[in-house]
C-alpha cells in the first residue's frame, strides 16, 4: 500500500494552512510536510498550530536546511514539536533551495559533510543525548536539551544528486527524492540501493518518497497553469546532470534563476515549456495523475508527496485527490472487500 503525503507552503494566513491540514487528515493523507523558506511564515510556528488541530497525521519540516538554521536549533524545534504531538513528528532535512539561499548570500558548501553531520546532531540532540562532536563542519561540546522527547524522530533527507541520494539512504530513516518523473526515480533508486548496502540495512526499512510538484484539476490547462511557477523554481535550482537528462541547457536554467532572483516573474515563467512541466511535475486531470502515480509506485516509491501547488484550488484539489486518486492505490485488504 502506498502512503500519500502533502506539502503546504505557508505563504497564506496561518488559519488557511491549518484548515488545509485538517482537511488533508480527514481525507486520508498520511503525512504532511511544511516548507521552510525565510520569505514565508515560520515553519515551526505553522506546524505547532497544525499539531493542535490534528490527531494522527505525521508532520514535519519538508525540508529545512543547515545553512539557514544550525542543526542544533532544528533538533530543539522538532523535539519540542514531538513533546506536543508524540510520535507524529518527522524531520525533513536537505541542502535547501539554491535560488532562495542566493538571495541572502548563503553558499551551500560541502553539502555531503554538512548533511551527514547535521543528521547526527539532530538525531542525538533530539533523543536527549549529551553530544560531543568535532566534525569537518560543526563542533558541538557537551550540548544537551533540558527536556526529554518521548520518542525517536525519523529523519528524512531530501536528495536529488547521486551522492546525496546514497547518503540519504545510508543515514536517514527516509529519502525525499526531489523528482516527479518515473525516469528520475528509477535512476535515484540505483544510488539509494548503494547507500542502503553501505549501511548494511534492508531497502524495506527505508521510506522512499517521491516529493513531487503536483497539480490536479478537471481541465488540463488549469492544472498546467497552476504548476508553472513551481516548475520554474525547480528548473532554476536543478543540478546540471538532471537538466541534461531532460534536454534543458544550463544557460536556460540560469536565465530562469536570475529572473526569479530579480523578481521578473513574467520573464521566468514564460520560459517554462510543456516538456519542463512533464519532466518536473505530476500534472493533469485525475486520469493522467493516476497513470503518473502508478508509474512512480512501480519503480519503488513508498510515499508520493503531493507538493506545491497541489492544484489551482487547494481545497478542491485535496478533495479530488482523495476521491479520484486514493481509491486506485488501496491496500490488498481493501481491494478484497471492494
> Is residue 57 a part of any domain in this protein?
yes
Nearest to 219 by CA among 274, 172, 289, 293: 289
Please count the structural domains in the chain.
Answer: 1
> Is residue 201 a part of any domain in this protein?
yes
> Is residue 177 a part of any domain in this protein?
yes
Q: What share of the chain is helix, strand, coil (3-state, %, to 5)?
A: 50, 15, 30
Give the pLDDT mean for 8-20: 96
Q: What is the pLDDT of residues 140-182, one digit of tens each?
A: 999 999 998 889 999 999 998 999 999 999 999 999 999 999 9
Of 10-14, 103-107, 264-268, the one with minimum mean pLDDT is 103-107
Whole-model pTM: value is 0.92
pLDDT of residue 184: 94
224 has pLDDT over 50: yes
pLDDT above 90: percentage of residues in the chain: 90
> Is residue 78 a part of any domain in this protein?
yes
Q: What is the pLDDT of residues 78-130, one digit of tens each?
A: 999 999 999 999 999 999 988 888 889 998 999 999 999 999 999 999 999 99
Give the pLDDT mean for 307-315: 97
Interatomic CA distance for residues 303 and 294, integer angstroms: 12
> Is residue 114 a part of any domain in this protein?
yes
299 has pLDDT over 90: yes
Q: Are 108 and 95 in contact (CB under 8 A)?
A: yes
> Is residue 293 a part of any domain in this protein?
yes
> Is residue 297 a part of any domain in this protein?
yes
- Burial degree of 4 (CB within 10 A; 0-12, 13-18, 19+): buried
Structure confidence at residue 338 as a pLDDT band (50, 70, 90) = very low
> Is residue 271 a part of any domain in this protein?
no
Q: Are 231 and 281 in contact (CB under 8 A)?
A: yes
**CATH classification of the domain holding 167:** 3.20.20.30
| Domain coverage including residue 105 | 3-220+283-337
- What mean pLDDT value characterizes the chain? 94
Structure confidence at residue 313 as a pLDDT band (50, 70, 90) = very high
The H-assigned helical ranges of 28-174 are 43-53, 71-84, 98-103, 111-126, 162-171
284 has pLDDT over 50: yes
Crossing angle (nearest 10°) for helices 14-27 and 43-53: 50
Is residue 218 reached through a cis peptide bond, with omega within 30 degrees of 0 on the bond before it?
no
336 has pLDDT over 80: no
Amino acid at each position: 500500500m502506498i502512503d500519500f503525503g502533502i506539502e503546504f507552503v505557508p505563504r497564506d494566513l496561518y488559519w488557511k494552512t491549518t484548515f488545509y491540514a485538517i482537511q488533508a487528515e480527514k481525507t486520508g493523507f498520511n503525512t504532511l510536510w511544511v516548507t521552510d523558506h525565510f520569505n514565508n511564515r515560520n515553519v515551526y510556528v505553522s506546524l505547532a498550530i497544525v499539531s493542535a488541530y490534528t490527531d494522527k497525521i505525521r508532520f514535519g519540516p519538508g525540508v529545512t536546511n543547515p545553512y539557514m538554521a544550525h542543526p542544533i536549533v532544528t533538533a530543539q524545534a522538532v523535539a519540542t514539536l514531538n513533546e506536543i504531538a508524540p510520535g507524529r513528528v518527522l524531520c525533513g532535512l536537505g541542502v535547501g533551495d539554491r535560488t532562495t539561499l542566493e538571495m541572502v548570500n548563503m553558499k551551500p558548501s560541502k553539502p555531503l559533510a554538512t548533511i551527514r553531520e547535521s543528521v547526527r546532531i539532530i538525531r542525538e540532540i533530539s533523543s536527549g543525548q549529551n553530544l560531543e562532536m568535532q566534525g569537518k563542519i560543526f563542533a558541538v561540546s557537551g550540548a544537551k536539551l533540558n527536556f526529554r522527547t518521548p520518542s525517536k524522530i525519523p529523519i528524512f533527507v531530501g536528495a536529488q544528486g547521486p551522492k546525496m541520494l546514497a547518503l540519504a539512504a545510508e543515514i536517514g530513516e527516509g529519502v525525499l527524492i526531489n523528482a516527479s518523473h518515473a525516469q528520475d526515480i528509477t535512476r535515484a533508486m540505483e544510488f539509494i540501493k548503494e547507500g542502503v548496502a553501505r549501511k548494511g540495512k534492508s531497502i524495506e526499512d527505508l521510506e522512499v518518497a517521491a516529493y513531487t510538484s503536483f497539480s490536479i484539476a478537471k481541465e488540463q490547462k488549469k492544472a498546467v497553469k497552476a504548476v508553472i511557477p513551481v516548475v520554474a523554481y525547480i528548473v532554476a535550482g536543478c543540478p546540471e546532470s538532471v537538466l541534461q537528462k531532460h534536454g534543458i541547457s544550463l544557460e536556460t536554467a540560469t536565465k530562469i534563476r536570475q529572473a526569479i532572483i530579480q523578481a521578473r516573474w513574467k520573464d521566468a515563467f514564460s520560459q517554462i515549456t510543456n516538456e519542463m512541466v512533464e519532466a518536473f511535475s505530476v500534472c493533469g486531470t485525475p486520469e493522467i495523475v493516476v497513470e503518473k502515480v502508478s508509474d512512480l509506485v512501480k519503480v519503488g516509491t513508498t510515499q508520493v508527496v503531493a507538493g506545491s501547488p497541489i492544484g489551482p484550488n487547494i481545497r478542491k484539489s485535496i478533495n479530488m485527490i482523495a476521491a479520484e486518486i486514493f481509491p486506485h492505490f488501496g491496500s490488498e485488504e481493501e481491494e478484497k472487500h471492494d
